[in-house]
Amino acid sequence: MSANGPRVLILPEDDWAAAVAAELAARLVERPSLRVCLPTGGTPTPVYAALANAERAGRCSLGAATVVLLDEWVGLAPGDPARCDVRLRDELLERLEAPPAFVPIGVDAADLAAAVAEHDAAAVCLDLAVVGLGMNGHIGFNEPGSSPSGATRVVTLQPMTIAAATAQYGARSMPSGGVTVGFARLLAAQEVWLLVTGERKAAVLRRALTEPENAACPASLLRRHPRLTVFADEAAAGELRGN
């Protein structure tokens, strides 16, 4: 990484989740009214558990914060276990003594276009955007080919992304697409964090951070942000040595 590039923190696997949660707790202490965009998926799950523990121990509070959901499946019924709003509530929000204001994505609305526009407005002026890294380089549901100026929108998902809904999260039906906060809102946030764990993400993380920016690897677009921090465990960072 260059001196002007992203801040890359490489952490032991056993310490990774606690370290990310501690930094997020510190942001909440600094700015109790933090407006943060949060993802779901396997990567942030242990971070949310550690953050909930910190809140219950009195080390931070989310009671004055606002959480904006990063993305949501289209075509899954309310309450489906794979729904992003269901997972974030289960893994974080309902574990808190003082939960934040929560802004889900209104995919069940009769007027989906209006609901998407409303969520796009909610994603304006984020203090912090937290995202994970997909195997094909996607960020949220910003699949390969996404524009850095893309707004929050309905998207067509690649088969490997859709398969995750059933294989990993137990969806009761197959989603027809997704809605995602676009790069226009993520890159306008005051700060962006990219969370990456596991050896299987090592190659795509190297592409995102060291190869020329390319829409074929949407995560590489995050390097445009002047305050990008990458939290990687040692396995995910395995191909970054020497760069």
Is residue 132 classed as helix, strand or coil in its secondary structure? strand
Which of 23, 90, 127, 136 is catalytic? The answer is: 136
For the four alpha carbons of 225, 218, 36 and 47, in that order, the dihedral sign comes to negative
Rounded to the nearest 5 degrees, what angle is found at the Cα of 181, between the Cα atoms of 79 and 51? 65
- Give the count of beta carbons closer than 10 Å to the beta carbon of residue 74: 19
Q: Which amino acid is at 83?
A: R
Give the span between the Cα atoms of 161 and 235, in whole angstroms: 22
- Using CA atoms, how far apart are residues 187 and 141, in angstroms rounded to an integer? 15
Residue 125: how many CB atoms within 10 A of its CB?
A: 11
Pick the catalytic residue: 72, 80, 119, 138? Answer: 138
Q: Is 136 a catalytic residue?
A: yes
Active site residue 199: no
Among residues 72, 80, 85, 143, which one is catalytic? 143
Identified catalytic residue from 71, 72, 85, 233: 71
Catalytic status, residue 55: no
Asked if 85 is an active-site residue, the reply is: no
DSSP 158: P
Catalytic residues: 71, 136, 138, 143
